[in-house]
Structure 1
Amino acid sequence: MGKPAGRWYARRRPRCLPGFFKSLGGRYKRIRRRTAARADPVRYAHGVAQLSQLEALAEAGELTLFYGDESHVCQQGYVPYGWQFPGEDVFVPAQKGFRLNCWGLFSRDNRAHWATTSQNINAAFVRDRLEELSLQLAGPTVIVLDNASIHTANLIQQCRHRWAQRDLHLFFLPPYSPHLNIAETVWRQLKGGWLQPADYAQADQLAYATNRCLANFGKALTIKFSPFKSN
């Protein structure tokens, strides 16, 4: 019984694991992080409905809609996935120590306001960036943010009336809904697509490459964002 079973396996087995997984309906894709907690369905539905209205107004040219978020790059590298072939030694040089924090506001039509710093991004940093933006507006502008403490801090809340008078308004996403923030897509593309393994070799090179990528967003580097869906 053992030999026939062995011959059957050798004859029927897929040539490679990806082929086997595909035969089962699997796909090779990024494994995304997801918050452990779940959004309250009523609050989530209400927030999505409001965001849908903002998206419609932005598409009609009635306002400008930016999505804001923070992230960072560091010399430990970012390797979501990759292929390696015989004879190749594929790796990202990893060093501890250097970390560059990034702040960005991004629109679906690939406009951006951004800044990088080696210092921590805190509520004061966010306030200063939004204050600068409030003095440059050409029309009504809404900034979509998550509920991180640096976004909802008293330091930010105290400025909202002044910013509203300048036509800069804040909209907070429902809790536990990072998938609604297109800034997350930009950070993934920055780390997993635009930055190259060689950029991580030296701190200066990584800082230069990161700033170069963000400066080219909307020019040489663009993203075709998926249309907003309310369900």
Structure 2
Amino acid sequence: MGKVFWYELRRSIWNKGFLGITVVTIWYGWRLLTGTIILGVANTAPFSPWSFGAYLARLLPLLSVLLLFLLWNQSAERTRGLEVLSDAAPVRPGRYLLVKCGAAFTAWLVLAFAVSALGAGFLWALFGTDVPCARLLLPSLIALLPPALFWLGCGLTAGRIHPALLFVLMAAALTAAYLPRSVEWSLYAEPLFTEYPLSLSVLDPAFTMPAEALLVRLAYGTAGMALLGFAVARHQSRRERKS
């Protein structure tokens, strides 16, 4: 299965759609860094965990679209021939689907790491040793992982029904950034980084988050993993019934 993983990973990265969204995301990330993040958010320093988390949160709609595009690229009708070959191979269909999903998620991680490195490198170039690189890791994980797992599960489930549904999810991923949201319930956590620090009544506070927000973010990630497991189990059972 290693060969399948590397094949799917190369196919995910080396296509015009991935490269196009990557260019747009990096360009937008640079605009955020030089126009908003450099001023700091919520009365915090530009290199604070709050500002860095806000930077990633504002990139998440584009990153989510990329993840869904990668899943669509695997689910599109032109790739169905590969599944016919996989059905004839001595590999469980559910495992094969997980490998493909893992390749798509790994390709997404490449861009997520790239924009994170862009932000950290930008701040390091300006502020040097004042940048608390180790303290940027936690807000990065809190911002990125729950929505990534959520859209991964939703996308894989929708893609097994019909690939066109992934375009509906792409629109939903962009729309979610503009819906009214609270600190606790925001999928992309932007209010957590831009509004919650103002409620702490401390200048440039250390990074913390309310327990409700943490539980909701765990719920988003758990829901995504549950949908992922459902999609894999459904795909496995359907293939077994056909065989």
What TM-score results when the alignment is normalised by the length of structure 2? 0.28
**Which structure features the higher share of strand residues?**
1
If asked which structure has higher relative contact order (CA below 8 Å, sep 6+), I would say 2
Question: Is the helix fraction higher in 1 or 2?
Answer: 2
